[in-house]
Amino acid sequence: MQLDFEKLGGLIPAIIQDSQTNKVLMLGFMNEEAYNKTVKTGLVTFFSRTRKCLWTKGETSGNTLTVVKIYPDCDSDTLLIKAVPAGPTCHTGADTCFGESNSEGIDFIEYLQDFIEKRFKEMPEGSYTTSLFQSGVNRMAQKVGEEAVETVIEATNGTDDRLVYEASDLIYHLIVLLTSKGLRIDDLARELKSRHKG
């Protein structure tokens, strides 16, 4: 990856985003040495503009940022780093440096489908998801139907906790079925958006 460190006098901004929630956690700066250390160790390392030295996020607090993927922008002078935070990111103890909560939200469903797609490509042995893919589209569709019925039963005669449990099974099996057909949950979102009248 060829990065342009010269535009800002040897530094490039690095936007850190939670790989699961998609929340922006913080902004830091890297020089070439910090970037290379980040790539080598898998832990986000910055260049401190005040102390004039490298610092690996969490080296004293333990609240590290483990790299999942690094994306350069179109000019190769800014980075987007998707990472997994170990604890709060901000030195104040907040989840993010922008005061936002970093709780799991609807974005987790996109992360889940990415994970299911990985299973589809790799087909690891012993994985329940792998066994679903191997069972074929008819069995996957049948599982969606079974989970839909169980969701209806809990909605009409069960508890809210059981409804959430069964509806979660339904969504999971639906995503597996969509993935097997080369579709994503985003396709459903687009369809729903096209129907929305506001």
Tokens representing residue 6 in the block: 């010269």
pLDDT attached to residue 96: 96
**Three-state secondary-structure class, residue 69:** strand
Distance CA 110, CA 63 (A): 25
Contacts of 158 (CB under 8 A, 6+ apart): 166
CA distances from 168 to 100, 117, 127, 145, 178 (A): 26, 18, 18, 13, 15
Q: How much is the pTM?
A: 0.66
Report whether CATH 1.10.287.1080 matches the domain 107-195.
yes
Select from 3.40.50.2000, 3.30.70.1710, 3.40.50.1100, 3.10.20.810 the CATH code of 12-85. 3.10.20.810
Q: Where are the domains of the chain?
A: 12-85, 107-195
pLDDT attached to residue 86: 96
Domains 12-85 and 107-195 in one fold: no
Nearest CA to 37 among 73, 70, 4, 84? 70
pLDDT attached to residue 197: 85
**Residue 59 near residue 124, CB atoms below 8 Å:** no
pLDDT attached to residue 110: 86
Distance CA 150, CA 163 (A): 8
Count of Cβ atoms closer than 10 Å to residue 165 Cβ: 15
pLDDT less than 70: residues of the chain: none
pLDDT attached to residue 102: 87
pLDDT attached to residue 152: 98
Nearest CA to 110 among 162, 185, 169, 48? 185
